[in-house]
Amino acid sequence: MPELPDVEAVRCDLQRSLVGATVRAAQCADARLARPGSPSAFARVLVGRTFEQVVRRGKWLRLDLDDGARVFSHLGMTGGWRQVAIDAPPLRFERARIDVGRHGRASSLRYVDSRRFGRLIAGRKDIADWMALGPDPLVEGIDDRRLFEAFAKRRRAVKEILMDQRVIAGVGNILATEALWVARIDPRSPGNALLPVHARAIAKAIQRAIAREFANRSRKGDGPADSFYVYGRAGKPCPRCGARLSSVDLGGRTSAFCRRCQILRRR
């Protein structure tokens, strides 16, 4: 699933291609994608309006129009936006399209999503999912005191808490796995077993994991980073102590970790 760095890259692309462009036509062909709204509302809200900015919060995108209307986009697991020629045929797994004109040139923005877990909602006010999001690490940073308070209220494993978008927006399986390794915290540790010093270490580690992935992208282009410390490396040597990395399923997601140098905290 795309995480904060992936969605930020999409935001930058959309900002470049959409701001100042006027919508000539719009279509959403998938009611599941538009839930709880309707596909027909998509065109009704967009056509004739001009895009002003593209904002990201966590894994959500918000495309703002000049009359106060907005389009919310969540990429789900397999979603993505593609800009093509206005007369290009439908793309494979295409679910929606927005045809725009800018500076006398027309182009078409297509949303593709093979597994259809994404969302595309047009309206005139912020949706509940957007308003429920926690602080965004790139926009507001991470308050380690607030993070500690979130841990203290929960018995769940710290890895699951970090992936809760109400706690920190944009952190998913990859960033949580990498950050906990950097912070030397076992992902199975209960949240209410952690101390303020642990919350502070995790907050710094999340920012470090985000910065590292952006740095990897700048070196390798727009593709995803593939030089993780421990994510997806279960069974291989820990890059810090050399012990064999283990894996555990937490919240339905697999987490690689080191039993030797990531300490399991207990109450």
**pLDDT recorded at residue 39:** 84
Catalytic residue among 156, 204, 253, 260: 253
pLDDT, tens digit, 9 for 90 and up, residues 60-87: 999 999 999 999 999 999 999 999 999 9
**pLDDT recorded at residue 218:** 75
pLDDT, tens digit, 9 for 90 and up, residues 95-128: 999 999 999 999 999 999 999 999 999 999 999 9
Output the CA torsion sign for 76, 149, 207, 189: negative
Catalytic residue among 11, 49, 56, 59: 59
**pLDDT recorded at residue 225:** 47
Domains and CATH numbers, the chain: 4-131 (3.20.190.10), 144-257 (1.10.8.50)
Is 2 designated active site?
Answer: yes
Mean pLDDT, each 10-residue run in order, the chain (267 residues): 93 96 94 85 92 98 96 96 97 97 96 96 94 96 97 97 97 97 98 98 97 84 68 97 98 96 95
**pLDDT recorded at residue 226:** 56
Is 102 designated active site?
Answer: no
User: Considering only CA atoms, which of 95, 125, 126 is closest in space to residue 111?
Assistant: 95
Catalytic residue among 2, 39, 135, 137: 2
Supply the pTM of this predicted model. Answer: 0.93
- 114-128 burial, b if ≥16 CB within 10 A, otherwise e? eeeebbbbbeeeebe
Is 3 designated active site?
Answer: yes
**pLDDT recorded at residue 222:** 52
